[in-house]
Every structure is written in structure tokens, then in C-alpha cells.
Structure 1
Amino acid sequence: MSESEGVLESSYVPYTATFQYAPYNFENTALEVGRSQWPNYDDQHYLRGCKWSPDGTCLLTVVRGAGMHVMELPSDLYTGESVMTSRPIAALQPAVSVPEGGLIYDYCWYPGMNSGNAATCCWLSSGHGGPIHLWDAFSGDLRCTYRGYNNVDEVEAAMSVCFSADGQNIFCGYKKNVKIFNTGRPGREYVEFPITHQASCLVASQAQPGVVAIGTWRNTIELVSQSDGSFRHLCKLNGHKGGITTMAFSLDGFRLYSGARKDKEIICWDLRVPGRPMFCVPREVNTNQKISIDLSVDGKWLVSGGTDGKVQVWNVTEQTYPTVHMQMSLHSDCCNGVSLHPYRPILATASGQHHAMDPLHHSRQTLQYENALCMWWIGAQQEDPDLLATIIKAATNS
């Protein structure tokens, strides 16, 4: 599709017909149902998060030095209330790969993605030294670019990107401003909202269209309201010890959850009374790496990875101070990405991080680090009766 043509012509129609909804059950252990592994090279192909598509059909991940990859959800997981514990782990293979060699700063799905409508199947990415790219999720082709320029008319790389709730606009975080592009008009036409510090993280509220949270490397979060091309400052939130790396709005839009680098707390902000945090929950984050958080679509479950490889779960609908509802040791290395499926009880996780080179051997090939994209069933599970009978018979004979 050329830049002169419409980038997105169709309206958003939720694609849920093939899914049978099943709730998360964080009382059970996580059952691994899918995995994709990247080897250890000297240039360290570790993963940088993962995100389910809004329609739940596929999973997007970025691998440092090895591009972007879209994995399809195994077809047997679309329906059914439970999964057999003997189910083999599916070897996930990329349905679409984009060999983007540079460092990817941020990426996000088009919020109206519907696999039944090819025009809506796309995602954004922003990388080192280049413009913002819109990629086709079916072919991996580049649809168009959005180019932000600095004060000497040079193309500037955005550190963070996100769509507006309706997908009509793209918010891009730069060193001194947030640039807003019209999704249907690629190129260099944009409006700017000035900021004091570099925008490291952006998230748009689904419940309150036009409200955007801007996280910065200087530990602050600014909430703004955008309408008719103008911007209005709402409030500024202070409380983190490091630069903001991840945020998520609650379903009703009244809460904002945020996490920061080298900061071992997730803060929940009540945006109706934004003067102080509503509560804080702990997690293990001892590096500058982005460790993402996610909320379930019903707003009940908050999940976070950690540099210790563990995934923690909180029930944030509890009236009292929420404690860790469940803690799962899912990875042997840093778990930097978590994403909850919108319709099925499936948690996606991504692992990996930068490791210092051995000063004696000058190589990492002899060391085995985990760089994996995994899918975990967090729902009802059933024992395979044939397998159970075999185990009982073997125990009896022994």
C-alpha cells in the first residue's frame, strides 16, 4: 500500500467469533503449551518483550539483532474449557518475520486489529536512527513511515510509540516533545506537545479517549488530554526512583499502573485523587532493562515479570492492600515481557537480557542463556486418563 493511499480504510469490528472465552485461574500451576527459542550468539539475540494482538490470534515479539516475529496461537487453544496436562509443548514458528537489524525501541499493535480484515492487521515500530514504521502483519511488508524531525531538520528516532484508543492518531515520544501523527496521513505532518524530559513510555486510555500518560526518563509521569489538535495538561505524578519503562490503564480509566528501571515497585495511581499513590506492590527489577506489566481485560489481574525470572500476579480488585496472589518461577533468566491473552487463559512471556562478555575468553558461545518466547495455560487442567493408568500400572508392577 503506498503512502498516498489510505493506510487503514476499514472500521474496527472485534474478531471474537472463533474464540471460546475462558477465565484465568491463577490457583493452578502454569502449564507450558508453546515455546520458541533463540540461540546464544556473540551479538546476544535476547528478546525484548511480547504483545498479544488485540484480536488474540497472534503474538508479536522483538529479538535484539534478529528482527520482529509474529507467532500464531496454536489452533487447538482457540476453544475448550481445559487442557490436558500431557499436551506436548508446541514448537512455535514465526508466521511473519521482519529482519530489522537495528535496535527496536518500542512497538505496538493497531488497536482495531481484526484478522478477518487484512487492512487492520498491522503494527508500529520505532528503532535507532530511523523513522516510525507501519508493518503489514500478513506479509511483513512495510506499509508506510511516519517521520519526525528535530530542530536542524534531521530525522529523529522516537523512543516510544502508541496508538490513540480509536487508532486514528499515533503518539510518538521524543527528547523534547511528543509528536502526534494522523494514522491515515503518513509522512512528516504532525503536531507537537512540548515536554521537559525525554518521553520513555506512552500509553493511551481506552476508557477515556484523548487521555494519554507520558512517562519520562526523569521519573515523572504527565497526563494530558488531547482533542481537536490541542493539548491540555491534567496532572504530573512523582514517586518512582528510576525512569518510567512501562504503564497500563485500568479498564475504567480511573487507575494507572506504572513501573520504572532499577525500581522494585509498581505504583498504582488513583487518577481521581492523583496527589499520592493508591498502593505499591513489589517486584524484582535491578537493571535498566524494560520489565513490562499487563492487566487482564476484566481489570482483575495485574502481572509483572522480573529480573529473577519470576512472574508475579496480584488481584487488584481486592479492597485491601493487594498482596502477591501467585508467584511463578517460569524462566532461568530475566523475564522482561508478559502479556495476557484477551479471551483465553494464556499468558505469554519473553526472557533474556544483556550479559557482559567474559573478559578472559571474549566469547559468550560457551555460556547458555535462555532467550525464549513461551505460552502458558493458566486455566482448568485435566489429567490424561490413559497416561494416569500407565503410571498407576507401572507403580503397581514395581
Structure 2
Amino acid sequence: METYNEEPQMEAYIEAPQMNYATYNFENTALELARAQWPNYADQHYLKGCKWSPDGTCLLTVVRGGGMNVFELPSDLYSCDSVMQSRQIGALTPAVSVPETGLIYDYSWYPGMNSGNAATCCWLSSGHEGPIHLWDAFTGDLRCSYRGYNAVDELESAMSVTFSADGQNIFCGYKKNVKIFATGRPGREYVEYPTTHQASCIVASQAQPGVVAIGTVKNTIELVSQSDGTFRHLCKLQGQKGGITTMVFSLDGSRLYSGSRKDKELICWDLRVPGRPMFVLPRECSSNQRISIDLSMDNKWLVSGGTDGKVQVWNVSEQSYPSVHMQMSLHNDSCNGVSLHPYRPVLATASGQHHAIDPLHHSRTMPVYENALCMWWVGVQQEDPDLFTTIIKAATHSSA
């Protein structure tokens, strides 16, 4: 019998503090707030997405060869209504680092994460040739592990992982099935749901507990309903050109947005009338890399990265076919990660990709690639007062 670290009880879903949704302003270009940079030549330290915590206090990212890192939201951004355009770009320093050198496939925050309750502050990760780990977001320590095995009792790696909406279960995508673990029971006890192809992406609906979308490497999406260890097939969606790499449910559960590898189209599925796309949106995705999407909490703004380094924004609340509301060139390399802050008008982006390296070093200069985690202000901006006005105000104040 394996021994695991003591895992805090998470019997009830603990909600984040009640806050108003962020008011985004995508009329102006994004203002860079803070940045963290990693080198990339021999070690290929490119980033693999980024995700805000459910309570919005911190940002999680994975760096190939650089482990997992948690960064805190700068304190001045918790309550400000606007930001000066002259605000200096801050340097992001990890609050917590987990030096996992192995390849990380996927990761997910606990949905009830609340910094006021240490037991809820954790995230999952799945990696190459290893079990699924639950990490402590305060210390970076390993809390416990969940192990899936194949038909010949060999430890199997999960390609995708996510929590159920209430945080009570963990859904893990494997080659021939989806395994479901009870969050409070680490080890190798699980139930299985068979799949035709490898489950490359899994998301759970917040509006309809138990409803899960399973994306596969063969461009299909299956919606299933899970409760009490039993599964019911709801429908199958097919329309993407490649293996599914990113999906997001709308907060009301009526829509599902999906994207796939080497596919320059995002598809919006109307789940009230499943079977055909509601509309299709264009983006640049010319590689097998996972290029993520995100949806604002008010279901209005959909954002996507791109292999061209651009972030595209659509107003998907419009009744007509949505066109690109804004396109921002934020990175010099592939923008693989985008994440909208749940309560503040802050956009997080992650950049980088694998580059073929000349082993003989024929080039005299080493190429410099952008592997950066950035925070951008997408709210109201204040113009800087001109120097003349500042001098007049200072003189008036001194004479008085």
C-alpha cells in the first residue's frame, strides 16, 4: 500500500470572494504591466500556456525545462479603476516554483481555490511517464498523487487533466479512456469511460455539473454526463481539422468553443441545438502546438493566441456573425497562452515554441527567442499629463 502526503479535506466547494466581473476595454491597445523572461537556445525554455487562479490572486505557467511557476497579481492592480500609460513595466518573480524538469502535458487549478483557505490552494499536473500530481500553491510541495494503469498494469501518463465543476472529481485523458479519480482519495482507485481515440483535451461545464466535453486527437468532441460513477453519452461534435487542443464552455453552459492543432478555425457550438457549428472564427494556428483560448466571465469577450504572436479578440455576445473586434501584436514569437483575469481587466499571455537548432552552429550569432509571461492592462487608460501642465500646477501650488 502506497503512502501519500496528508491531503486536506475538500468536502465542500468553497467559492472565491464575490466580486464584480471585470470591465474590459478593447478599444485601446493593451498596456504592458509586467513581464518574466526565460532564455532559449540550447535548453528550449519555451512556455506552455498560462492560467489565472479562480480567485484571481495568482497566475500559473509551465516552462519546458523550467518547471511550474506561480506569479502573484501586482498589489496595485487589485482595486485601481485605470492605469497611467507611463506606468513602468514590472519584473515578475515567481512566488512559488516547482522544479519539474520532465515534460508537463497539462495542468489545472482547483476550481474552489481561495487564498483565504490554504486547503483549497492547489493545482494538478500530468507529465511524461509519471502519475498525476496535486501541488500546494503556497509551498510548492507535493500533496498527493493519482495513478492510472493500462490493461497490463503499467503506469500510464495522462495527456489531459481537469477538475469537475465542484472539485470533487478529477478527469484524466488517456490513450483509450478517461479515468475519473475522487479528489479526496489519492492512489489508484478510479472509474473509466472508454473512448475511441486518445483524449487530448477535457473541460467541465460550470453551469451543468457533471457535463464534460472530451476532445480527442482525431478531431472529435464527445459530450458526456457523469454522476455517481455512471456515464451517459450526450452527443458527438465533429468539424475541426486536427486534434482538439483547447476548449472552453460559456458560463451559462449554452455554448462550447473549440480549437485544434494546425487548424486556423475556432468553432462555436450551440449546445441547445448540437450537431452543427453556430459560427466559425479565423485565427493563425500553423503548428501542432497547443494555442489556447479564453472567454470572459460575462460571456462577452473571446480571446485567442496565435502562432504569429498576435492576440485576437471577438465580441461573441453580438447577435450577428462576430468579426474580429481587435487584433493586438503582443509577441515576437508564438503566443500559445491567453488567460483573462476573472475580476480585473488584466490579460495574461505566454509566448514561445520549439525551434530547430543548428547543431554545428553555422550562424555566427545566436538567435534570441521571446519566451515571456506578460500581464497586460485591457481596461481604462489615463493619458500622461504634458510637462507644461505639470509645471503650471506645481507653480500654482507653491505660490498658494
Which TM bucket (shorter chain)? over 0.9
Which secondary structure state, in structure 2, belongs to the residue aligned with residue 139 of structure 1?
coil
Q: Distance in 2 between matches of 1:25 and 1:190?
A: 45
Rounded to whole Å, the distance in 1 between the matches of 2:330 and 2:387 is 25
Matches within 5 A, 1:276-295: 276-295=276-295
Deviation at 1:228, TM superposition (A): 1.0
What is the aligned length?
391
CA distance, structure 2, for counterparts of residue 155 and residue 7 of structure 1: 25
Equivalent residue of 1:375, what SS? strand
Query: Kindly tell me: are residues 156 and 387 of structure 1, through their superposed partners in 2, closer, same or farther at Cα, counting changes over 3 Å?
Result: farther
1:8 and 1:387 mapped to 2: Cα distance?
Answer: 58
| Alpha-carbon spacing, 1:182–1:203, altered in 2? closer, same or farther (3 Å) | same
Kept in 2, the 8 Å contact 1:20–1:79? The answer is no
Deviation at 1:383, TM superposition (A): 2.0
How far apart in 1 are the matches of 2:328 and 2:242? Answer: 25
Distance 1:355 1:272 in 2: 42
Other structure's SS at 1:373 match: strand
| Aligned residue identity for 1:330 | L
Return the offset for 1:390.
6.9
In the TM superposition, residue 15 of structure 1 has moved relative to its aligned partner by 3.5
Deviation, 1:241, is 0.6
Q: Who is 2:125 aligned against?
A: 125
What's the offset of the Cα at 1:21?
A: 5.5
Shift of the alpha carbon at 1:8? 3.2
Number of the residue aligned with 2:10: 9
Cα deviation for residue 29 of structure 1 reads 1.2
Letter in 2 for 1:310: K
**Given that residues 41 and 364 in structure 1 are in contact (C-alpha distance below 8 angstroms), is that contact kept between their aligned partners in structure 2?**
no
Counterpart AA for 1:297:
M
- SS, match of residue 94 in structure 1: coil
Q: Alpha-carbon deviation of 1:219?
A: 0.5
Asked if 2 retains the 8 angstrom alpha-carbon contact of 1:357 and 1:363, the reply is no
Distance 1:22 1:178, change over 3 A: closer
- AA of the residue aligned to 1:27: E
2:323 maps to which residue? 323
Matches within 5 A, 1:1-398: 3=4, 5-9=6-10, 11-16=12-17, 22-358=22-358, 360-361=360-361, 366-385=366-385, 389=389
Distance 1:8 1:386, change over 3 A: farther
Q: Which structure 1 segments of 5+ residues have no match?
A: 393-398
Summarize the Cα distance change of 1:199–1:21 in structure 2 as closer, same or farther, 3 Å threshold.
closer
Q: Read off the aligned partner of 1:223 and give its amino acid letter.
A: L
Q: Please list the CA deviations of residues 254-312 of structure 1 after superposition, one character each: whole Å capped at 9, or x if unmatched.
A: 11000000000000001111111010000000000000000000000000000000000
Q: Deviations over 1:24-79 (max 9, x none)?
A: 01111100001000012302000000000000000000000110000000000000
Q: Which runs of 5+ in 2 are unaligned?
A: 393-400
Distance 1:80 1:387, change over 3 A: farther
SS in 2 for 1:385: coil
Deviation at 1:348, TM superposition (A): 0.1
Aligned to 2:397: none
Change (3 A) 1:10 1:35: farther
Alpha-carbon distance between aligned partners in 1 of 2:202 and 2:343, rounded to the nearest angstrom: 24
User: Which of 357-366 and 263-272 deviates more?
Assistant: 357-366
Shift in Å at residue 14 of structure 1? 3.2
Give the conservation status (yes or no) of the 8 Å contact 1:3–1:185. Answer: no
Structure 1 residues 362, 103: CA separation in 2 closer, same or farther (over 3 Å shift)? farther
Cα deviation per residue 1:113-143 (whole Å; 9 max; x = unaligned)?
A: 0000000000000000000000000000000
Per the normalisation by structure 2, the TM-score is 0.94
After superposition, the Cα gap between the structure-2 partners of 1:364 and 1:215, relative to the gap in structure 1 and judged at 3 Å, is: farther
Cα-to-partner distance string for 1:177-208 (whole Å, 9 max, x where unaligned): 00000000000000000000000000000000
Structure 2 CA distance for aligned equivalents of residues 21 and 163 of structure 1: 23
Aligned to 2:395: none
**What is the alpha-carbon distance in structure 2 between the residues aligned to residue 280 and residue 3 of structure 1?**
46
**Partner-residue secondary structure (3-state), 2:95:** strand
Q: Distance in 2 between matches of 1:391 and 1:111?
A: 51
- SS of 2:36 mapped into structure 1: strand
Which residue in 2 is equivalent to 1:396?
Answer: none
SS in 1 for 2:88: coil
- Conservation of the 8 A alpha-carbon contact between 1:40 and 1:364: no
Please give the secondary structure, in 1, of the residue aligned with 2:119. Answer: helix
Per-residue CA deviations over 1:127-168 (Å, capped at 9, x if unaligned) read: 000000000000000000000001111110000000000000
Q: Per-residue deviation at 1:382?
A: 0.8
CA-CA distance at 1:16 after TM superposition: 3.1
